[in-house]
Amino acid sequence: MVRIFCMQIDTMDNEALKQVFIGLHPKITTGINQDSIIDVLLSNNIICVDDYNELRIVPDSTSRRDLLKILYLSLHPETFIQLRLALLVDYHWIVRDIDEQLTSATAQIHLGDSADDRLVSVNSS
């Protein structure tokens, strides 16, 4: 028997989230106030103090784009995981869109009748 179920968000890797954020770039650059988000990202060492200070002094629309540019270039292994978590409180509607895109793009097939009962990940495009 083959059962299909969606992966939980905490098992999604950072790169999958990055791709979703790239797709939602226009919505994020127009729909958020990054002040609380950059506070969380700084406290979790996702952005540095210099980036934080620079983002605080530029106009809002420019700094949102600059923030995403910094995050897209980041090598931190949890950049987009932490960004998603930072958006949860004030921007649950964006997180809902992120989660919907993740679950529609990625699924796991559990091969319950296979000899080793292993999990296989597939893209459901």
Q: Considering only CA atoms, which of 28, 45, 43 is closest in space to residue 87?
A: 28
pLDDT at 105: 66
Average pLDDT over residues 106-117: 39
Q: Which amino acid is at 28?
A: I
- What is the C-alpha separation between 125 and 121, in angstroms, rounded? 13
Q: Which of 17-21, 71-75, 105-109, 113-117 is predicted with the least confidence, judged by mean pLDDT?
A: 113-117
What digits encode the pLDDT tens for the residues 18-58? 999 999 999 888 888 888 899 999 999 999 999 999 998 87
Mean pLDDT, rounded, for 61-73: 89
What is the biggest distance separating any 2 CA atoms in the chain, rounded to whole angstroms? 59
Residue 64 clears pLDDT 70, i.e. is over it? yes
Q: Is residue 124 pLDDT above 80, yes or no? A: no
User: For the chain, which domains are there?
Assistant: 2-123 (1.10.533.10)
